[in-house]
Amino acid sequence: MKKQRNPHKKDKKTRILLIVIGILASLILILVLSGNLYIDSLLNRTIRSKKLSNEDALVNQEVLDQVKNHRIVNIAVFGSDNAETAQWQNYEMERSDATKIISLDFDSKKIKITSLQRDTLIYIPEPYNDYDKLNHAHWRGGPELAVKTLNYNFDLDITQYVGFSFEAIETLVDLVGGIDITLPDGLLATQVMDLGATRDGNIFHLKGKQALIYCRIRKVDDDFHRMDRQNEVILKVLEKLSKKNIFELMGIVDEMLPYVETNMTNNEIKNDITSLLNFDLKHIDQFQIPSKGMDSIEKVIEYNGFSPIYMMENYEDLAKELHWNIYEDENYQPSSNIVQLERNIQNQFGGS
């Protein structure tokens, strides 16, 4: 005679299984929520400013129409030359010693860094409404005016930015244990040695203070090489960070966030960081605007008592070049605003 199964025993096992699954699901949910709250608590240590709409940031509709088919987010990065404090206390009135655009390309899963020449003659829009050098936009009206200036002069669509005191580089380099750079023998290598760097052949080990000064050396060459050095330090730091475990990274983030100013929300930051897990982080494209360096300069002028200010040969070409670098769009047509900007600059500053 075949033995019959006990349906009550089966129901009991099912209930136990469901309870176990429910407990596990609850634990996972608690861990996720706790982790999310912890990350939010870290991000809340940054200094926040208001969100910018396209209208606030002077994003041109002609530009939006041409880039709408690309899934690319452009974020302005401003490094202040605040010499008094590493944290943001007086940053609203500081020049942006470094002005860069971080482009997150969600189509090709790539990161691009574009460095802009700080002494470029540009037009700073309202409330300043006058010509000046690019890094003075931050000085004249903080990051919001600097974002407007980038969009106005280069046909960009930036509404998000991150700012940090340039001296914060010193802290970050020390937190990753210093960086190694390779230099040929020459004046630059001599200056680096004078900073107290240790040397093994042509490899120089820089601590935080030394790396900061290395970023800012100008007398041995020009500002275009200076931008290269800034990017080199950034990439070296990223290389060191990539070798840290999650607990080390969280400690570094905890140390650095008070140095950061941004108008990005916690969710925007977390979404971008999550997306970066699928990006090719070993290959970061780097560009300079203008790409031809000193050969792109039509003349060096003094305006409102400031010099040098570089008047570029062609501002429409700068916008085209920038869009080729970021969007790989070889057919980009500069907006009517850029065309008029070109005319105005040539009329006021052109000629002998």
Identify the CATH number of the domain in which residue 83 sits: 3.40.630.190
The answer as to whether 229 is a domain residue is no
DSSP secondary structure string, 270-325?
Answer: HHHHHHHTTS-TT-EEEEEESTTGGGGEEEEEEETTEEEEEEES-HHHHHHHHHHH
Q: What is residue 84's predicted lDDT score, i.e. its pLDDT?
A: 42
pLDDT digits (tens, 9 = 90+) for 200-231: 999 999 999 999 888 888 777 777 888 888 88
The answer as to whether 238 is a domain residue is no
Q: Kindly state whether residues 345 and 204 are assigned to the same domain.
A: no
C-alpha to C-alpha distance for 27 and 172, rounded to whole angstroms:
35
Q: Kindly state whether residues 187 and 133 are assigned to the same domain.
A: no
The answer as to whether 286 is a domain residue is yes
Is the pTM here over 0.75, yes or no? yes
Q: Kindly state whether residues 78 and 193 are assigned to the same domain.
A: no
The answer as to whether 91 is a domain residue is yes
Q: What is residue 86's predicted lDDT score, i.e. its pLDDT?
A: 40
Q: What is residue 223's predicted lDDT score, i.e. its pLDDT?
A: 76
The answer as to whether 138 is a domain residue is yes
Domain coverage including residue 114:
49-170+244-349
The answer as to whether 325 is a domain residue is yes
Q: Kindly state whether residues 200 and 280 are assigned to the same domain.
A: no
The answer as to whether 214 is a domain residue is yes
Q: Kindly state whether residues 108 and 181 are assigned to the same domain.
A: no
Q: Kindly state whether residues 164 and 92 are assigned to the same domain.
A: yes
Q: Kindly state whether residues 204 and 284 are assigned to the same domain.
A: no
Strands (E) located in the chain: 47-48, 72-80, 96-105, 110-116, 121-124, 130-133, 160-165, 179-182, 198-200, 203-206, 260-262, 284-289, 297-303, 306-312
Q: Is the backbone of residue 45 left (phi > 0), alpha (psi -120 to 50) or beta?
A: alpha
pLDDT digits (tens, 9 = 90+) for 68-127: 999 999 999 998 765 444 444 444 456 677 899 999 999 889 999 999 999 999 999 999
Q: Which residues of the chain have pLDDT under 70?
A: 1-42, 45, 81-95, 351-352
Q: Kindly state whether residues 136 and 39 are assigned to the same domain.
A: no
Q: What is residue 349's predicted lDDT score, i.e. its pLDDT?
A: 93
Q: Kindly state whether residues 19 and 56 are assigned to the same domain.
A: no
Q: What one-character DSSP code corresponds to residue 104?
A: E
How many domains is the chain partitioned into structurally? 3
The answer as to whether 232 is a domain residue is no
Look at the block and give the residue holding tokens 């009550």.
8
Residue among 310, 311, 335, 309 nearest 322 (CA): 335
- DSSP-assigned beta bridge partners for residue 345: none
Q: Kindly state whether residues 64 and 163 are assigned to the same domain.
A: yes
Q: Kindly state whether residues 126 and 189 are assigned to the same domain.
A: no
Q: Kindly state whether residues 260 and 344 are assigned to the same domain.
A: yes
